[in-house]
Amino acid sequence: MTDTPQDPHSESESQVPDGGRTVDLAIEQELAESYLTYAMSTIVDRALPDVRDGLKPSQRRILVAMNDLNLSPGRKHSKCAGIVGETMKKYHPHGDQAIYPTLVNMAQEWKTRYLLIDKQGNFGSIDPDPPAAMRYTEARMHRHTTELLDDLKLDTVEWQANFDETVDEPRYLPARFPNLLVNGSVGIAVGMACSIPPHNLGEICDAITRMVDEPDLELRELMEMVPGPDFPTGGIICGRRGIVDAYSTGRGRVTVRAKIQQETTPRGRELLIVSEMPYQVSKNEGVIEKIKQQIRNDKLTDIANVVDESSNRAGMRLVIELKRGADPTAVENQLYRLTPLQSTFSIISIALVKGQPRTLSLSELIKHYIAHRRDVIRRRTAYRLMQAQQEAHRIEGLIYAVCDIDEVIRLIRESQTREEAIDKLMARGFRIPPDHQHAPKIPARLLAQSADSPIALTRVQAESIGRLQLIQLVGLEIEHLVANYAKLVEQIEEYESILASPARVDQIVKDETADLKSKYADERRTVIQEGEVGELNLAELTPVERVAVTITHTGYAKRLPVEEYRVQNRGGKGVIGSKSREGDFTEHVFVSSTHDDLLCFTDRGRVFRIKVFEIPEASRTSRGTAIINMLNLQQDERVRAFMPISDFEKGEYFLLFATKKGLVKRTALKDYRNVNSAGIIAVNLKDDDELMGVIWTAGNDHVLLGTRRGMAIRFNESDARVMGRAAAGVKGIDLAGGDSVVGLIKIPEGEEADLLTITVNGYGKRTPTSEYLVQAEDGARPQSRGGKGRRDIVTAGRNGQVAAVRRVTDADSLMLITQHGMVVRVQADTIRQTGRATQGVRVISIRDDDQVTSVAAIREDEDAEDITDQPQADAPPESSEDN
């Protein structure tokens, strides 16, 4: 028969070794099962702590290895390299790069609330500096660790074989010390993570003691004893909402702030001193570098210098030096907002319960600890009971032997071997007659046992007799044996009583907890501050006072009490005088209450609201603080208008907006009462449009729009119906091709003034606003909204297009700014008054390659006797009861 040739590849694939088998599996199922197996292995063996001792396997093995090396608190420190080697050799074969950092973390006081390792040498710092190599550092167990390991050899825990099955290791520790509750734990597993915060030992001990008696204690009562986490680095927890969430559900978020004090140097320089850091925030990389970065980015403009004066003796001391005139409170708030001096700690209370990960509330964590301690106490007591019973049993045999010592000696002398002697002792019955010379000394319990029939010795008792020395056969030995036996009987009865009474077990739990508190409890480090971040009502901390607020053309703001602006002597001049940078000047000034709101409108149609007291108070000569540091502006976004508001509900006032494309929108002022710090949309703009101006109106005012090509339209505000806050508006003026709005003017009812128009080439004119009315048979009237308007100024030829329009009186002064930075001040009454549709006169001489870009009214305070007499920023009037 001829063999049929086969493909060798197909033959090898189809063959199955002897005794083997093939199983067809779906690859999706195999991957899912293998991944779940790997994930659970990571969760159980590496990342999550056991709820009983609060340790992850790597931490537990290091402490057990140190216990094997007898590195107790009273012993000398030992090289960390030896500890790591012992751990790796016997328990944790994952390399020194995994073991040594774990050891270091348990010795760093800024990471571990109650240290488990007593260190010696360079173990790093919060800066963060790395620790020295393990060959240079030394360690031993801390006193807290001895409480974790106490009773380990008393059969209190379960044991398992190590990785190579040469020795056994504990699955968990007896943990008299509530490590998980007081030190917390942080770990990242596959698909889950734990982040349990540390707590104060004294508070946790109080809660444990209370919950032993009242296991159904309500969260409110529990938080009276444990108000919140207690971080090793101290700090301030803002609010209790996140704490309540975490304690009730196992998950929550708390905001932690650094502790900052304000100091003043003898030279009057303001300092901010950081004495405590948020938990898990490094000093150099986390805080100092971030502060310097924000200074470079012009976010923190009032900080002059940052100096780290921390030392081992003085502790944490980070000095932030402020510039002169800076408001320390405002800078402190900026530091919280812009740097890690305020951070969020996420609480995820996941721990292993009987090998399974579970999310636990605070009360559940405490209950599991109490249940663990009850189990440890029962097992310890049962072990001690067994040991006492065995010893009592052995001593019973010795007492029988000493009472009949002559017979014991005879049996031993007649025996040829040790085994024969043991057997003869076990075969002979022993009893103590009532008339025996030692009978008065023998416990009644033993006399009763042998009263009816002789007692046969067990092998243990017989072997103990065989080990007796001749010197122990003297008559006084019976007294020593009886005393030991009585003590053991007393212990046995005590242990049996404990095991029979759950109340006795609970009392031991409470006694041991009270002992822990007396030995190790310390003061709380972390302060819990009422009020969530963002909800802290600073207005309640700020007194109500009248202040003057000034804002410069380049956006620097400051406030100071109105009294600072009064004359110093009768008949003198005022004392205001700010040292502005060259080219800058005060453009807005108003008197307001510190509790008033300031609306800030940007060219992108957004509005922000800040409180007046949030503007830093500064000296008269200070330039102030950049307003952009107080607002969450986007890149290249500019503030177009400022409007102080004392009450959004007073009167029937409106805000009227005008855009570059000629749209206007009128909205009730009260619609902007809920503006938040992040800003909201004040007017919806198209992509190619921008906000040009905002004014408040009283309902019957006239509005005038001026355009770049010299057109102007005056109409009644009522022509623009009231719209919602997010509306886009309606047409205010019909613009010719290429034209755009450059200014928005309010003409209050019955108050006529002049319209100042300035062109880019430096020409301008003043025209009475009455000339922009339409003359009709029934009198002068405004135009209708949406028309083309009337010619305001000729823009052809020398003038060029319009740069700005302003409403002025003869007493006003103006500042003209050119493209190349030229700034010229002119008095309004020096500009000739002419009619509409004229060319005007030269106002400013500029170079051929330059042009006027903007015109601002000057709020020049140096000549003022009283700030209240100065032109104020456009804002609704206050009610009579405030005046």
Q: How far apart are CA 99 and CA 418, in angstroms?
A: 52
Return all residues near 826 (Cβ < 8 A) that are at least 6 apart: 813, 814, 816, 843, 844
| CB distance 656 to 717 below 8 Å | yes
| CB distance 608 to 632 below 8 Å | yes
Instruction: Residue 473: name the closest of 407, 422, 388, 394 by CA.
Output: 407
Q: Helix (H, G, I), strand (E, B), or coil: what is residue 757?
A: strand
Q: Helix (H, G, I), strand (E, B), or coil: what is residue 140?
A: strand
Query: Which token pair is 837?
Result: 């549709």
HSE (side-chain half, CA atoms, 13 Å) at 431: 11
Report the b/e string of 7-18 with b at 16+ CB within 10 A. Answer: eeeeeeeeeeee
Return all residues near 599 (Cβ < 8 A) that are at least 6 apart: 607, 608, 609, 642, 643, 644, 645, 672, 675
| CB distance 237 to 254 below 8 Å | yes
| CB distance 242 to 533 below 8 Å | no
CB-based contacts of 491-499 (< 8 A; 24+ apart in sequence):
491/384, 491/388, 492/385, 492/388, 492/389, 492/392, 495/381, 495/382, 495/384, 495/385, 495/388, 496/385, 498/377, 498/381, 499/378, 499/381, 499/382, 499/385
SS3 content of the chain, % helix, strand, coil (to 5): 35, 25, 45
CB atoms within 10 A of CB 667: 21
Extended beta strands in 349-388, E state: 350-353, 356-359
Q: Helix (H, G, I), strand (E, B), or coil: what is residue 667?
A: strand
What is the residue-wise DSSP string for 535-571?
T--GGGGS---EEEEEEETTSEEEEEEGGGGS-SSTT
| Strand-by-strand arrangement of the 251-257 sheet | 185-188, 193-196, 342-348, 251-257, 236-238, 527-529
Length of the chain as a residue count: 883
* Residue 438 burial by Cβ neighbours in a 10 Å radius (0-12, 13-18, 19+): middle
* 136 in active site: yes
Task: Enumerate the β-bridge partners of residue 263.
Answer: 271
Instruction: Note if the bond before 128 is cis, omega within 30 degrees.
Output: yes
Instruction: Residue 142: name the closest of 85, 195, 103, 86 by CA.
Output: 103
CB atoms within 10 A of CB 503: 9
Q: Residue 209: what are its φ and ψ, rounded to 5°?
A: -60, -40
Of residues 35, 38, 100, 136, which has the active-site annotation? 136
What is the residue-wise DSSP string for 392-447?
HHHHHHHHHHHHTHHHHHHHHHH-SSHHHHHHHHHHSEE---TT-TTGGGS-HHHH
Three-state secondary structure readout of 195-235? EECCCCHHHHHHHHHHHHHCCCCCHHHHHHHCCCCCCCCCC
**Dmax over Cα atoms in the chain, in whole Å?**
155
Instruction: Residue 84: name the closest of 52, 109, 117 by CA.
Output: 117
CB atoms within 10 A of CB 184: 24
Task: Enumerate the β-bridge partners of residue 827.
Answer: 813
Instruction: Residue 78: name the closest of 131, 120, 138, 145 by CA.
Output: 138
- Cα–Cα separations (whole angstroms), residue 453 to 399, 426, 429, 456: 17, 15, 8, 9
C-alpha dihedral (418, 423, 429, 433), degrees to nearest 10: 10
Residues known to be catalytic: 136
